[in-house]
Structure 1
Amino acid sequence: MVIAVLAFLPFLIEDSQPKVIATDEYAQLGNSINKILQDQRLDGATTGVSIRKATTGEIVYDHFGETRLHPASNMKLLTAAAALETLGEDYRFTTEVLTDAQLKGGVLQGNLYLKGKGDPTLLKQDFDAFAQNLVSKGIKKINGDLIGDDTWYDKIRLSSDINWSDESYYYAAQVSALTASPNADFDAGSVIVEAHANSTIGEQATIKVSPETDVVKIINRSTTVASGTKNITIEREHGTNNVVIEGTVPVGGTVTREWIAVWEPSYYALDLFKKSLTEQGIKFVGSKPKVTLGKAPKQAQLLTSKDSMTLKELSIPFMKLSNNAHAEVLAKEMGKVVYGEGSWDKGLQVIGENSSKLGLDMERIMIRDASGMSHINLIPSNEVTNLLVSVQKEPWYPTFLNSLPVAGVAERFVGGTLRNRMKTEPTVGNVKAKTGTLTAVSALSGYATTKDGELLVFSVLINNDLAAVTPIEDQIATAIANYTK
């Protein structure tokens, strides 16, 4: 039986739907959460909370559960489910090196093509391996151009609703079928820029870019000072690859480090490959060889290639670290695989269709991107928990569950974005949930086991908040984990 939980209702505004309901079996849990929701940090905010039994999907607590709210990175729950269903756990991205030329006396008499097919995990060492493989085939010189082929996806680089103020940084990196990452977090399309204090006071800070690339131009306006507070910014100028460093760095101060998104990442990957070729002794000859973008001919011969890690493996950095680039790449890849078009339109269509198959009411949901960066994405918390219940019956569910951050576990690729939250009993190692954060948006949705050993599914979506509200989400998860009937 469902009953209205009347305690603590005075703080709720009038509306046609019940604001707080709970089954009589969970009335005590409902009252505990109602107390939490009286927190002054939620004044003026809208909070949707939905809790279901994992076994049956029955809603046991609902606070504005039918209200559409911005999910932030909880959007990745829908994307991950669609990718695992559509592409499969064993899916891999492929990158190819091809030519349309003959090899004569160690000289490749024509163009060399680097064809990307979406792999967001390519590192400098992978381009080194490509170059080494070419050397092993006897290639010493290239009498032609180096051409990057990124036509696997369309030319639209940024998903809908990305703000200019975000475009400079890794979390809003441009998406291309040909891209590269700076390290094993696989923040595709970005470089790491570090500012170190110079050994001489008054001189510019020492700047390091990883991996080294000529695509990025450093404009250093910084100064090393004897002492004081570090006050330095690192930002890319919009529409360019000029990275401007301004401010002061005190001697003995900590390193300032930013992950900067590259403008047109196809050229970034191509530049890393050219450096690898040079380092392996392969030279370009002829008159004015070009490094440019184009399309590999259909008859081009495959020289070497690399398959990425599996989607099952990729799901760890994707979901644990809430990698936006991975989400958007997966969307385009799903569009390519299902509809032959590597675009956001087709990719988001696949996510919507898969969500519908899982039983979500798509008339109540708006999907504008795959990562949750858009402030126009909308979904009720009841539909988030609906998804979390439904995926349990899928064969790929263990991979989905394993990809979620785990509360209080320090290891980054286990605890992920929850590694510094809920670090004590009964939540540590128990709460497995996806976080979400945007300006004035915070979310936490996942699974928690009660003290009675019952698995519950929950979703907390908070919008229009002007304070730090993650502690409130943690309190709700803790109330679930502490609950006994």
Structure 2
Amino acid sequence: MRYLFLTAALMISFSAQAGLDQKTAETEMQSLAKKHKVQLADLGIYASVGEGDTLKVLLDNNGSKLMIPASITKIVTASAVLATFPPGHKFKTTIWTTGEINKGVLKGNVYLKGGGDPSFVSENMWFLVNAFLRNDIKRVEGDIVVDDSLFDKMRYDESRQKARVDRAYDAPVGAMSFNWNSVNIFVRPGNKAGDDARVYVDPENEYIRLVMKAKTTNGGDNKLLADRKEDPKFDGDLLHVGGSVGKNNKELVIFKNITQPDLWSGYNFKAFLAQRGVNVTGAVKNGETPKTASLAAETDSKAIEQIVADMNKFSNNYVAEMLTKNMGTLKKDKGVMLADGMATLQEHIQSLQIPKDQYHIENPSGLTRENRMSSFAMWKVLQHLRNDFRVQPEFLQSLPIAGIDGTLKKRMKGTKAERWVRAKTGYLNSVVSLAGYAGLEDGRVITFSFIYNGSTDEATVRQYFDKLLESLVN
């Protein structure tokens, strides 16, 4: 009897494996494409199942065709970063001082020096300020000088798409940056229709000038208008918040980027010092830390693998460029350009023996229409990351999980693919992409790369990709 049960189990397992073959997968791909009115000519798809001697190709539709990959480019960036920096690697942000301290008064400047940390946020600033306070400084009779000389002053690299927008995904880059170089605008309705809306900026500091013209209306409509502009009268940005918000709404949030990472960081540093009772009499400016300065405080970033997760889970373009410039610091110790880091990224791609005619990468975030990559080339990168145990765990945990978090939080939720798909998303106008892994209950893993360049509605293409994965997993 035991033998019969074992034989039956093996037959079921064999049947399940046999059912996932290239012919079946291609039929499903074509059937779903027809149902969703997605043209196969606009698709680059490559997928395999298994590994080593058991690896077999499931799908190859225009697999070698060069296409715009959008944000799945970050898979390549993650691969290069994890190959360059070991797990646990961290970036330092430091505070230095010049002059003498007498009875709690520093007669000199304070230098906030950036070490290229993409994850430097409010919690890190608090830690750094608390460490600074242990120098028993209650007053600074001098300036706050922000030193971001580790990187160049190119805030928006030429490889990024040319049209600038004030949304957080297009944030500028600097060696001294803060809160992803973006500001949060929280809006709440007034008590009754006609009242001014209540608008709050977080973090609050002198760098931001807020102009509030939003009104409260009846109902639950949200017609808020917000834009960010540089203020010609001072070193900072103007935030205009207008339009209206219905009184039945709770709190709404809008994210905007800032234009000057160094001064933005410096004014926030000043605000955090003020909250702890430290008054700074001078200005906030940029400059370099003199060699005679004394170290007053320092703090470490998140571990590199956690920063890569920030990049991939939320498709953060700012983090992608910051990490790439950090790769460039291995070639230069000052004024690092994005091109310096891109050289390391290109060397990494070449080491994976990907055909040179199947990729052309200019920007590490994918926020450009100049990048080109075939679905097969992306599959090769994914296979490398899957097979190299030195980086596999860190990369896998960085990917959004279907139905759970990141950019896949609302996708494939409640289906057989929920939690079984981990993948990076990509999106530009007329571009939709998805690449990663789909697990099967028998322990095998599908490695897939889907790229679409065409005129079909992007939401329809995303649905097509999801349905195809659900079918393969099921």
TM-score if structure 1 supplies the norm length? 0.86
CA apart distance, 1:49:
0.3
Aligned to 2:76: 78
Structure 2 CA distance for aligned equivalents of residues 255 and 45 of structure 1: 45
1:332 alignment partner AA: K
Give the 3-state SS of the residue equivalent to 1:398 in structure 2: helix
CA distance in 2, matches of 1:74, 1:270: 33
Q: In the superposition, relative to structure 1, how do residues 250 and 25 fare at CA in structure 2: closer, same or farther (>3 Å)? A: closer
1:386-432 per-residue CA deviation (whole Å, 9 max, x = no partner) reads 111112232111111111112123xxxxx322122122453122111
1:145-164 paired onto structure 2 within 5 Å: 145-160=143-158, 162=160
Q: Which amino acid aligns with 2:155?
A: R
Residue among 389, 408, 411 paired with 1:421: 411
Q: 1:397 to 1:247 in 2, by over 3 A?
A: same
Aligned AA for 1:245?
A: V
Q: Residues of 1 paired with 2:58 and 2:161: CA distance?
A: 38
The gaps in structure 2 that reach 5 residues or longer are 1-19
1:411-450 equivalences under 5 Å are 415-450=405-440
Structure 1, residues 5-34: CA drift from partner, whole Å, max 9, x if none?
xxxxxxxxxxxxxxxxxxx95212111112
User: What CA deviation, in whole Å up to 9, does each residue of 1:360-386 have, x standing for no partner?
Assistant: 223321212111111211100000101
Deviates more, 1:201-210 or 1:369-378: 201-210
Task: Output the CA distance in 2 between the equivalents of 1:111 and 1:54.
Answer: 60
Please give the alpha-carbon distance, in whole angstroms, between the structure 2 residues aligned to 1:166 and 1:194.
23
Write out aligned runs for 1:159-308 (5 A): 159-160=157-158, 162=160, 166-181=164-179, 188-227=180-219, 229-237=221-229, 241-285=237-281, 289-308=282-301
Show the counterpart of 1:52. Answer: 48
Deviations 1:40-82 (A, max 9, x none): 5424971100012451465442101111111111001001111
Q: What is the aligned counterpart of 1:363 among 338, 357, 366? A: 357
The number of residue pairs the alignment matches comes to 445
Does the CA-based 8 Å contact 1:331-1:344 persist in structure 2? yes
Q: 1:325 to 1:439 in 2, by over 3 A?
A: same
Report the CA distance shift for 1:207/1:25 in structure 2 as closer, same or farther (over 3 A): closer
Q: In 1, distance between residues paired with 2:332 and 2:80?
A: 14
Corresponding position of 2:9:
none
Runs of 4+ in 1 over 6 A off after TM superposition: none
Q: Percent identity?
A: 27
* Structure 1 alignment gaps of length 5 or more: 1-23, 182-187, 410-414
1:13-92 alignment, distance < 5 Å: 25-43=21-39, 46-56=42-52, 59-92=57-90
SS at match of 1:103: strand
Give 2:14's aligned residue: none
How far apart in 1 are the matches of 2:177 and 2:435? 31
For 1:156-181, what per-residue CA distance to the aligned partner results, in whole angstroms no more than 9, with x for missing partners? 00133545765201101011111111
Give the alignment's Cα RMSD to 1 decimal.
2.2
Report the secondary structure of 1:151's partner residue: coil
Residue 444 of structure 2 is aligned to residue 454 of structure 1? yes
Aligned match for 1:403, one of 398, 401, 413: 398
Which of 390, 394, 403 pairs up with 2:384? 390
Deviations 1:342-369 (A, max 9, x none): 2111111211111111222233212121
Whole-angstrom distance in 1 between the partners of 2:220 and 2:273: 44
Corresponding residue for residue 128 of structure 1? 126
What are the residue-to-residue correspondences of 1:102-121 with 2, within 5 Å?
A: 102-121=100-119
